[in-house]
Amino acid sequence: MTDREREEFEQEKTAAQISGDYHLKAKEMELEVAKLEAKWSSWLKLPIIIITLPVRILFALGFVVCMARKSEPSEAFWEFMQV
C-alpha cells in the first residue's frame, strides 16, 4: 500500500467515523424530542379533557333533543361534532 492509498484510506475511515458519530447524535436527539413530546402530551390530555367534556355533554343533550323531536340534526351540528 502506497503512502497516498494509506492517506486516502485514513481519510475515508475518518469521514465514516464522523458520519457515524453524527447519525448516532441525531438519533439520540430524536429520542430526547420524542420523550419530551410524550411528556407534554400526557400533561396536556387532562386539561383538554376537562375543557371538552362540558362541550360534549351539551352536544349530547342537543342530539337527544333532536331525537326526541324525531328530527335530524343539521349538517353544521355534525361538522362541529367532528372537531
pLDDT greater than 90 at residue 25: yes
For the stretch 28-81, pLDDT in tens is 999 998 888 877 777 777 777 888 888 889 888 988 988 898 888 888 888 877
Instruction: Report pTM.
Output: 0.42
pLDDT of residue 16: 92
Residue 72, H or E segment: none
Task: Write down the mean pLDDT value for the chain.
Answer: 85
Whats the size of the chain, residue-wise?
A: 83
29-50: buried (b, 16+ CB within 10 Å) or exposed (e) per residue?
Answer: eeeeeeeeeeeeeeeeeeeeee
Provide the residue ranges of all domains of the chain, joining segments of one domain with +: 3-82
pLDDT of residue 83: 62
pLDDT of residue 66: 87
Give the Cα separation of 53 and 81 in Å (integer): 12
Kindly list the distances between the CA atom of residue 74 and the CA atoms of 22, 30, 56, 70, in Å, as whole numbers in the listed order.
Answer: 55, 45, 16, 13
